[in-house]
Amino acid sequence: MRPHHQHRRHSKIATNDGVVVEISSDGHSLLINIARAILARILFIVHSIATIWQAVGVHKDNSVWSFALISVAILIEGGYAVIMRAGDERKWFSASVLLYILATAPPIWMLETEICKWRVEKDGQENRDERKDSIEEMRLQLLEQLLLVVLILNRWLLPKGSSVSREQVSQILLAYLAISSDIVEFFDVFKEKTVYTNVFLQRIVLYVWTLSLLQFPFVLTVSRARKMRLALTNEEVIVDRTKGMWQVIYDVDLWAIVLANSLQGKSYK
């Protein structure tokens, strides 16, 4: 009698970038993979549409709905991922995360700018209903902070494929949690009077905040980054002599580490 695992067949699909994806014929795991990919993109779309809807109501400008077209692009990207890669994300870059940030960050700019205007008006009006303003402000801020929650949740939810181990996934999520805790502090700056009364300072903070979000689409191999930093700290550099100079230049993990570190460094200076 043959072992059970020998009955499991695998099929290979070649993507446009030349990567061969091996897909198990196990229907249960395949359905779970696809379901996770679809659910993650639904969360992206729901939150981005909710943010756009609030921005339209607060900003009184229907042209803001144009950002919903980017949310539609998430559906197209998701369909491509399901058909070509059985829902798996690419090893080093997530297009759905980038599209989500592009669709959601500009409406959040508008919401935060409007909140700053409310604070200026509140300072100039003594008889203003502060309780009502605080509730409205808190509701919009909650919607803004949900962006990071959705990013981290979907980073865990999106299928990673067999190329990324569970240990790497956990380390990546811990790194994103650390980054998110720093990003949250940006919105505390808007409570300072010198900021919410100065449009130029508001734009600078929002620009830096958006720049810091661009770390999320790029997937770091955190364990490798940690080993590299440890090696540099101990003044020990291990070089694989089998790799040529061009192979080092085209090392995706190395460039991902450099990119994330440079973005994080610029954001928190």
Place of tokens 């003594």: 126
Residues in the chain: 269
What contacts 174, CB < 8 A, 6 or more positions away? Answer: 222
Residue 91: per-residue pLDDT: 75
Digit-coded pLDDT (tens) for 89-137: 887 788 999 999 999 999 999 999 998 988 888 877 766 666 666 778 8
Into how many domains does the chain fold?
1
The yes-or-no verdict on residue 77 having pLDDT over 90 is: yes
Residue 78: per-residue pLDDT: 92
pLDDT > 90 fraction of the chain, expressed in percent and rounded: 28
Domain extent at residue 210? 4-267
Could you please report the per-residue DSSP string of 222-251?
HHHHHHHHHHHHTT-----TTS-HHHHHT-
**Average pLDDT of the chain, as a whole number:** 75
Beta bridge partners of 12: 22
Contact (CB, 8 A) for 45 and 75 = yes
The yes-or-no verdict on residue 205 having pLDDT over 70 is: yes
For the ranges 78-92, 194-208, 210-224, the maximum mean pLDDT occurs at 194-208
- Listed residue (197, 18, 181, 189) closest to 123, CA to CA: 197
Residue 62: per-residue pLDDT: 92
